[in-house]
Structure 1
């Protein structure tokens, strides 16, 4: 029996797509260690290793770009359009070089989150392409109008060639896809005991006064850290290495720790709208404080998702950037839906991949 080989193609945008794909890759590896994982991403290898404990092949390649950003909230549409048009012009050679690699490595299945050229690789290599996401890039770009409309149409056309979509919660309709399976929330699980975290990082504040500030891989330069002076007996945890040294600010500077590891000892997570952080916090039942993003269409669905299924506070940008953070003295609002949301996305997708690999073997 040949070893099943899975090629995971990851969108080149921030860290969220990389961490949610890596958490599913880790579940596949745990349930079926003989599957060989090839992770295709420009996210740093250490980030993927935070989620995947076993071996994998790392192929640093980018086939899309998401949105060109200077930080977590600032977008450069002009540069984004220029790069998309470059990819469109060179799509045939991009596909050809990757198909070569896929054939040489005898890949059985592509799982993509959610670079639009992946179905092109699969069609040329004559293997299936499955995808997973809560949004497509066609949806983001279409919302911007103008020259982006034609780009969105081109991307929708690629997505329509995908064999199966696992549609994550907090999703837009994703109409380009023809075969959709809805799944539960996905994400990593905490790896360290609360007592160990508290002693290693000297976290002494009670849970309700311990706040995680996390703004994804792109960070956020203008967090108003001065506000922390109003909360002397609280503790704030950040992964931002450029943050100032303050007595009540704990800077997590060891790559083996992830935001999800600290969530169980925090009373709230303060974050931009991002699927991975919101999903992990909702799985663990940790309230979210967030600032809506007006110019990123996906954000509306993500904010709606936590409003429905998690305790939450939706604050304005001016409350966050110019205010005194009084919102921390208020209680979060309760979830609107009484029914809990499904939390088994990792297992559902992993099991489908493993079943496919096994039936392929027995044919």
Structure 2
């Protein structure tokens, strides 16, 4: 059997798009064990290595601008505009060069997780373009348009590119439902290690209440409340990005930003997650069935849509950015930990996307 080659253009905005893409690639491997992925992104290669274990090509590319961030919760619109000016409109020589590259690599189609450059490359290479999204950037930028009119031409340009995709897949929670070829359940990477084994490696008691704190792909300073966590009797906290090396301190398991622990395994091993309301954290907590203490991003348009989905489909507690930074959220911790786990029976959206793509290849 000839191994099919697929190009995957991934937005480097945070880790959510990389996580969703890795979940789809892992699912595709279950149907097409010999499939070879050519990944174009600035999301770190270690992220895909951890998720896929190899057998992919990695090509460093500014595939998307997304939003520049000051912190995990605060956007930087002036910097976003500066980057957009260097990104759009696409340089035709650059597009044709990338089209030649994916053709030379033998790619049969191009999948884009809201990276619009991939759609342009697919068109230039005469390959099918598959758009996977729960929002597109034109819709996100519209939320800032009242305060920054200079976004308008980029909105129009991006809207046209996203509309040019040959196949359109939306993943729940969908921010702007549109006619699409497929709408699927939340897409997440699956855990690989039993919860008890993960807890043992972390040095945590098997039955103790444990909470995962996560702010996504952008580093966060937890020192504003870290000292107060040790006062939480009989509750343990796992904090990726809490230290430059793995460290056990009282009831804290502090991990580096990139550690030996696979993030879905951490989610599977805890009793609740508290963190930024982002797509991959939501999807992983959803499929694990655990309560989610979610932190809204007040100006980011996706947040309101994700919060509506969480409130309807998950056991959850809403936490403001100010409450999180000050540590006031600790007063809500008993409420969060009292919520029950939900047993999920539906399939992961990654499998639904993979089946659709396999159908295109056949």
Same fold, TM-score > 0.5, yes or no = yes
Partner of 1:152: 155
Which deviations, in whole Å up to 9, do the C-alpha atoms of 1:62-93 show, x marking residues without a partner?
12121111321122110101111211144323
1:281 aligns with 2:285: yes
**Inter-partner Cα distance in structure 1 for 2:278 and 2:185:** 16
Partner of 2:335: 330
Distance 1:200 1:179, change over 3 A: closer
**Inter-partner Cα distance in structure 1 for 2:88 and 2:174:** 26
Q: Over aligned residues, Cα RMSD in angstroms?
A: 2.3
Say whether the 8 Å CA contact 2:42–2:63 is kept in structure 1: no
Name the SS of the counterpart of 1:289 in structure 2: strand
**Inter-partner Cα distance in structure 1 for 2:250 and 2:259:** 22
**Inter-partner Cα distance in structure 2 for 1:5 and 1:284:** 31
1:140-179 correspondence runs (5 A): 140-145=140-145, 146-173=149-176, 175=178, 179=180
Partner of 2:268: 264
**Inter-partner Cα distance in structure 2 for 1:160 and 1:311:** 35
Q: CA deviation at 1:252?
A: 2.9
Distance 1:214 1:48, change over 3 A: same
Say whether the 8 Å CA contact 1:170–1:302 is kept in structure 2: yes
**Inter-partner Cα distance in structure 1 for 2:228 and 2:101:** 51
1:106-255 correspondence runs (5 A): 106-145=106-145, 146-173=149-176, 175=178, 179-204=180-205, 206-207=207-208, 209-222=209-222, 224-242=225-243, 246-253=249-256, 255=259
**Inter-partner Cα distance in structure 1 for 2:193 and 2:287:** 17
Partner of 1:23: 23
Which deviations, in whole Å up to 9, do the C-alpha atoms of 1:184-240 show, x marking residues without a partner?
121111111222222221111635x20000111113225521220331421100111
Partner of 1:351: 355
Name the SS of the counterpart of 1:69 in structure 2: coil
Which deviations, in whole Å up to 9, do the C-alpha atoms of 1:235-287 show, x marking residues without a partner?
10011144797421102346342221022331110010101110111111011
Distance 1:180 1:356, change over 3 A: closer
1:3-18 correspondence runs (5 A): 3-18=3-18
**Inter-partner Cα distance in structure 1 for 2:243 and 2:259:** 15
Q: TM-score, normalised by structure 1?
A: 0.90
The range that moved more, 80-89 or 276-285, is 80-89
Say whether the 8 Å CA contact 1:260–1:280 is kept in structure 2: yes
Q: CA deviation at 1:30?
A: 2.2
1:302 aligns with 2:314: no
**Inter-partner Cα distance in structure 2 for 1:71 and 1:240:** 14
Say whether the 8 Å CA contact 2:21–2:113 is kept in structure 1: yes
Say whether the 8 Å CA contact 1:163–1:179 is kept in structure 2: no
Partner of 2:100: 100
**Inter-partner Cα distance in structure 2 for 1:41 and 1:298:** 22
The range that moved more, 146-155 or 85-94, is 85-94
Query: When the two structures are aligned, how many residues end up with a matched partner?
Result: 353
- Where does the alignment leave 5 or more consecutive residues of structure 2 unmatched? none
